[in-house]
Amino acid sequence: MKFLFDLFPVILFFSAFKVAEGRADAAASLAGSLLGAIGLSSAVAAAQAPILLATLAAIVGTIGQITWVMGRGRKVDGMLWVSLVLIVVFGGATLILRDENFIKWKPTVLYWVIALVLLGSTAFFGRNLIRKMMEEQMPLPEFLWGRLNAAWAGFFFVMGALNLVIAFNFPTPVWVNFKLFGGMGLMVLFVMAQTLMLSKHIKEKP
């Protein structure tokens, strides 16, 4: 459930883009009305409407996530706050300037922030965040936790770079598909590969 919850804004982004892509004129009218309602220019070209509506949906979805967590009296995860800041900054720039390049940078910046947090927390504070999150579910020998943390950091660096390659070398619809299915698929494959490699080292709890 948490995995789907984390993906909620991405799913909204994908769904809004695909629906708007098939109804470009209606999407342009809707996007113009929504943007005008929040004080932005209401002039929207049909070609721009899908990415603008998808960006709006992602912003609303991320705000909705935080509102839901806070409404249940729970602590909002730090990375969710980072994601909100990034989607507001990069998504806002896309809406104001009508430039989809900004929203295309957002996943890369998020991936790289996660990677830097994983490496920085170990290097400067002596805290292995991957160990903290996974130790109870996956007891491992001491020497593997550092490697696992570095592997996750490397994975997020690669994902950030791959996002840029897809975003700026392929049509926007291809990038939108990759944003959901490519990112999710590569994450699942990475987790499966790590589980297989680590299975022989997992200690059984007494």
Model pTM score: 0.88
Both 66 and 120 in one domain: the answer is: no
Q: Given a cut of 80, is residue 167 above it in pLDDT?
A: yes
What DSSP letter does each residue of 29-91 carry, written as one string?
HHHHHHHHHTTS-----TTTHHHHHHHHHHHHHHHHHHHHHHHTTPPPPHHHHHHHHHHHHHH
- pLDDT number for residue 205: 46
Both 108 and 186 in one domain: the answer is: yes
**Average confidence (pLDDT) over 56-84:** 92
Both 62 and 121 in one domain: the answer is: no
Both 27 and 128 in one domain: the answer is: no
**Average confidence (pLDDT) over 88-94:** 95
Both 107 and 205 in one domain: the answer is: yes
Are 203 and 140 within 8 A, CB to CB?
A: yes
Domain assignment of residue 170, yes or no: yes
Q: Determine the Cα–Cα distance for residues 12 and 169; give it in Å rounded to an integer.
A: 24
Q: Which domain holds residue 9?
A: 1-76
Q: Given a cut of 90, is residue 16 above it in pLDDT?
A: yes
Domain assignment of residue 81, yes or no: no
Both 182 and 136 in one domain: the answer is: yes
Q: Determine the Cα–Cα distance for residues 31 and 49; give it in Å rounded to an integer.
A: 6
Domain assignment of residue 27, yes or no: yes
Both 45 and 115 in one domain: the answer is: no
Domain assignment of residue 121, yes or no: yes
Both 10 and 51 in one domain: the answer is: yes
Q: Which CA distances in Å does 46 have to 18, 30, 96?
A: 14, 10, 16
**Average confidence (pLDDT) over 9-31:** 93
**Average confidence (pLDDT) over 87-95:** 95
Both 173 and 118 in one domain: the answer is: yes
Domain assignment of residue 91, yes or no: no
Domain assignment of residue 92, yes or no: no
Q: What is the count of structural domains for the chain?
A: 2
Domain assignment of residue 95, yes or no: no
**Average confidence (pLDDT) over 17-33:** 92
Both 14 and 109 in one domain: the answer is: no
Both 111 and 187 in one domain: the answer is: yes
- pLDDT number for residue 158: 96
